[in-house]
Amino acid sequence: MDYFQILNLIREPFSNSPEPDLFYQSPKHVRCLQNLELAVRLRRGLNVVLGQVGTGKTTLCRRLIAQFAGTNQDNDAMETHLLMDPAFSTSLEFLTTVAMGFGIAGKQKTEAAADSDVTDWQLKEKIKDHLFKKGVEEEKIVILIIDEGQKLPDFCLEILREFLNYETNENKLLQIIIFAQPEFQQILNRFENVADRVNLLYVLQPLNFKETRGMIQYRLAQAGEPGYTPRLFTRPGLLAIYLSTGGYPRKIITLCHQAVLAMIIQNRSKAGWFLVRSCAARLVSAGGKTWPSRPLRWAPVLVAVSAALLIFLLVRPMTTDSIRSPVVPRQETAESSPSTGQDAQIQPVRHEESQKGLAVQTETAQPFRTAEKTNEESRTAQEAARDEPPRLLGKLSLKNGRTVWWMLTDCYGENNERIFRSVARANPHIKNLNRVQAGELIHLPALPAEENPLAANRYWVQLAASKNLEETYELYRTYKLEAPSLRFLPYWNPRQGMVFAILLKEGFPDEAAARRSIARLPGALALEAGVFMHQEKDTVFYTR
């Protein structure tokens, strides 16, 4: 019995073959298809789609062919030809393959092997005559689709350039679509006479979290009984898939397949965070260091969606209560007695414990040990970190599809010339901040804001807080997919040290309004949300 039948599915949902009927029409892929179809119908000539390995180029290619095949009853019928591996050794081999694909050189390949008199020029003339007959006399649109375009030798690009010269006064006789990996851009840069003829250059980006979830649910719906969509993944499980794969469709399919197999073996009805993470770890071990593409280090915040709250903090011990409501309350000492002033102290307002059925712990939770530090060493590091404001907020790795400009805007609240110069000085290893490669580490200097960005007479909703810059920032980027009106708030004070928090962007006039806003949040965000009124007087903020 196939594994999908055990789950009451009628077909395999996570096949790694490029099946067009399982193609999930994400906004990115739909936009690409629409642009390509429009360019082909207008007979604009050369179009290029770039994307990293696993972004769905081959599936998109097959979908495009199926889409064009469905228009053959139109007046402007399509004739589509596909080259899957263009790693040719000679120009004659390339021309012969194209001619045979067009159906005009059935004997050329044999003749070329036995008769050296068959020339490139002869084949080009035959192809030109064929394109004129199809495009002008029969009024057809002839399309040549090339997959794995980064393998095209230089002489093939020159021949393609000549093909683009086959035209009437109104349009090109051959429509060329090249699907390639990003390095093809460098090839185009070397061939300006080809790059100048590119009508459409579309860069295919990985899916975001919402699209990743949509793709998984779509495939399950297609594989289930009509009208029935199996729910095989919990929400934390879906988020773990997104973080493990970086939103690359091929990796998503591979990981989902492994998770479903593990779920069957372990006799589970759903795959959650830890099951998905363990499957991703096995894939990393089997496939090398390049997979997965996103860190899996912020489980402490994400597993809050599950029935019981599990506490994981990297540096500083906190109470269970303070993790439920991410605002860390000030500990009372002789020097920090309650004050009636507006700016005196954080005033957390937490949900009632009975609302979520969580056990109340009033004692400080014991910190987890790490492989490198004992509890005593951790406490020493924490005390040292709280002595004075930091000079560096931390380091962030630039992810695919992001820019330094947006990263700085997220972290500092704005990105003006002074901030940009300060960041440039903190990163002497980067020659040009406007041209940073994905994976590069960006050092973020601690640039105090001139004033408190939080109005004292407002109530603020905090969704999460952590000592770790990268974890909190990745969580912020993920949360923004479902609640765009968020702000990233780094701050420091002598009691808590450096804290990175995620808040709703707008404050509220009273506590009731703040609580109502929490009730409207998606479940994963609302569970950890807390309300406070104002920060302590000696808090230093690093966002505007």
Cα separation, 93 vs 409, in Å, equals 52
Cβ contacts of residue 226 below 8 Å, gap of 6+? none
Cα separation, 440 vs 184, in Å, equals 21
Beta bridge partner(s), residue 424: none
Q: Which fold has domain 27-204?
A: Rossmann fold (3.40.50)
Asked if residue 292 has a cis previous peptide bond (ω within 30° of 0), the answer is yes
pLDDT at position 316 over 60: no
Instruction: Give the β-pairing of 497-504 and 460-466.
Output: antiparallel
pLDDT for 436: 84
Overall average pLDDT of the 133-154 stretch: 91
Q: Where in the chain is the domain with CATH 3.40.50.300?
A: 27-204
Kindly report the pTM of this predicted structure: 0.54
pLDDT for 116: 52
Alpha helix locations (H) across 201-248? 209-223, 235-245
Longest distance between any two alpha carbons in the chain, whole Å: 99
Output helix, strand, coil percentages for the chain, rounded to the nearest 5.
Answer: 40, 15, 45
Overall average pLDDT of the 4-16 stretch: 80
Per-residue pLDDT tens digits for 399-446: 876 788 888 888 998 878 888 889 999 999 888 887 888 888 999 999
pLDDT at position 326 over 50: no
468 vs 359, higher pLDDT = 468
Per-residue pLDDT tens digits for 212-269: 999 999 888 888 877 777 888 988 899 999 998 989 999 999 999 999 888 888 888 8
Amino acid at 277: R
Cα separation, 335 vs 538, in Å, equals 13
Does an H or E element contain 168, and which? Answer: none
Reported as a pLDDT band with limits 50, 70 and 90, residue 92 is: very high
Amino acid at 81: H
> Is the domain defined by 212-296 classed in CATH 1.10.3470?
no
Amino acid at 118: V
pLDDT for 523: 61
> Is the domain defined by 320-329+344-363+448-544 classed in CATH 2.40.128?
no
Q: Could you tell me the CA-to-CA distances from 413 to 398, 416, 488, 489, 535 in Å, in that order?
A: 18, 10, 8, 8, 18
Q: Backbone dihedral region of 227: left (phi > 0), alpha (psi from -120 to 50 degrees) or beta? A: left
Cβ-based neighbour number of residue 114 at 10 Å: 8
pLDDT for 71: 52
Q: Where in the chain is the domain with CATH 3.30.70?
A: 320-329+344-363+448-544
